[in-house]
């Protein structure tokens, strides 16, 4: 499995989603990365290529279980950032090729509602190349009360280009983990267990994403109750069409071999709770492995990458579905999904080594944090990771405060 890592990451400020602010911040990022702001993608995107742009479109509205209702753009990627990136892609394509903007949202998201809310469909008629917008889900949940019940899902066309199945085999971090307790999206666990038993470790990608020449990720800068932070790597959940292959936890408590709940007390409390948060704790030793698997699966095919993390309005607290808005006024860009995620979580005030899926790759690729070249507002930082600052100091669910940077230098 081959990967080429680029240690360049750039951070710029945008005070709002006004196009002038977004474009100015992107120009700072492109210049910091050594790209021509007039046509930054000309060395990445070539005429005739298919460019896949993946935002975070996890939800179309606030869930009823959320204790508050904030701005939905602390949950999903703002269309102003998507459009600014797509404008630059279209310029590099020079009238030849195509742009696909798509995601595989949470199974209960209403895609038409999402399209109306964001107004993003107007981009389909904006460029001299085809710009297609897809809902990649083959199954959707029309009523959240039916969540987890496969027989009550509604089937739809999904990715018009089909699917690509990747078997990670013994490279999977779920290999040699006892699969009999694995839980995916649906209550029917047989499919999840069969997809992750022995040398069979399956992930099924949307073909329009997997076969693209260039993959541009535009995630939200946001916390996550099951893994700490969700950015590029965790966002790859939205690339998988067969969601029941995504192992989120092992049922039960540590006493019975599970990590659905951190202890017996939590398990017993959940039996009487109206809303449960299964797997939503730092002791979940399953989901981070799935996240690492998705990144390794993506790397089985060579393609070009770029990312812009939307943190102008970010999400802190109980992400991914019920965060509180945080005006971080930030865009973060880079050539590499992993490096950019490591920088982004540090900028959120977290220690990347305490986020399990990032720590795994830091060790695997022997990444020295002093090797990173991080630009903030166009200025190369001498000691970005070593600073005792918590930078944006994002709030977390109490149990996750263990990942925050301590007062002493890292």
pLDDT at 409: 45
Contacts of 197 (CB under 8 A, 6+ apart): 179
pLDDT at 35: 97
Determine the Cα–Cα distance for residues 141 and 59; give it in Å rounded to an integer.
12
Whole-prediction pTM value?
Answer: 0.96
Q: Is 103 exposed, middle or buried (0-12, 13-18, 19+ CB in 10 A)?
A: buried
Determine the Cα–Cα distance for residues 146 and 139; give it in Å rounded to an integer.
13
pLDDT at 2: 43
Contact 10, 339 (CB under 8 A): no
Domain boundaries, the chain: 8-165+206-240+291-403
pLDDT at 377: 98
Contact 193, 182 (CB under 8 A): yes
Contact 392, 328 (CB under 8 A): yes
Peptide bond into 259 cis (omega under 30): no
pLDDT at 155: 97
pLDDT, averaged per 10 consecutive residues of the chain (410 residues), comes to 70 98 98 97 97 98 91 98 98 98 96 98 98 98 89 96 98 96 95 97 98 98 98 98 97 96 92 86 98 98 98 98 97 98 98 98 96 97 94 97 78
Q: Which of 294, 265, 251, 259 is nearest to 54 (CA)?
A: 294
């Amino acid at each position: 499995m081959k990967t080429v890592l680029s240690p360049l990451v750039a951070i710029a400020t945008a005070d709002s989603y006004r196009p002038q602010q977004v474009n100015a911040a992107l120009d700072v990022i492109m210049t910091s990365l050594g790209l021509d702001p007039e046509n930054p993608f000309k060395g990445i995107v070539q005429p005739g290529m298919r460019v896949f742009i993946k935002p975070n479109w996890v939800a179309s509205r606030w869930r009823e279980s959320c204790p508050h209702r904030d701005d939905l753009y602390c949950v999903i990627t703002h269309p102003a950032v998507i459009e600014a990136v797509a404008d630059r892609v279209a310029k590099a394509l020079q009238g030849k090729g195509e742009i696909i903007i798509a995601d595989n949202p949470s199974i209960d998201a209403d895609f038409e509602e999402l399209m109306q809310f964001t107004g993003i469909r107007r981009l389909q008629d904006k460029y001299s190349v085809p710009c297609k917008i897809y809902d990649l889900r083959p199954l959707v949940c029309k009523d959240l009360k039916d969540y987890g019940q496969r027989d009550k899902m509604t089937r739809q066309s999904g990715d018009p280009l089909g699917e690509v199945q990747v078997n990670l085999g013994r490279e999977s971090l779920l290999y040699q983990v006892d699969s009999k307790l694995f839980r995916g999206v649906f209550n029917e666990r047989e499919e999840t267990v069969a997809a992750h038993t022995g040398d069979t470790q399956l992930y099924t990608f949307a073909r329009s994403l997997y076969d693209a020449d260039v993959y541009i990720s535009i995630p939200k800068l946001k916390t996550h109750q099951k893994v700490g932070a969700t950015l590029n790597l965790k966002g790859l959940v939205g690339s998988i069409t067969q969601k029941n292959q995504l192992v989120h936890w092992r049922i039960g408590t540590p006493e019975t071999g599970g990590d659905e709940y951190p202890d017996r007390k939590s398990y017993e409390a959940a039996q009487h709770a109206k809303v449960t948060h299964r797997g939503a704790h730092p002791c979940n030793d399953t989901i981070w492995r799935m996240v690492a698997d998705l990144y390794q699966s993506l790397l089985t095919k060579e393609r070009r990458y770029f990312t812009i993390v939307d943190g102008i309005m970010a999400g802190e607290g109980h992400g991914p579905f019920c965060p509180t808005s945080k005006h971080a006024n930030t865009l973060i860009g880079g050539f590499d999904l992993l490096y950019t995620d490591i920088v982004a979580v540090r900028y959120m005030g977290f220690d990347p080594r305490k986020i399990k899926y990032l720590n795994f790759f830091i060790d695997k690729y022997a990444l020295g944090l002093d090797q990173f070249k991080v630009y903030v507002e166009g200025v190369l930082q001498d000691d970005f990771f070593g600073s005792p600052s918590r930078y944006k100091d994002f709030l977390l669910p109490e149990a996750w405060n263990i990942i925050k940077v301590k007062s002493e230098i890292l």
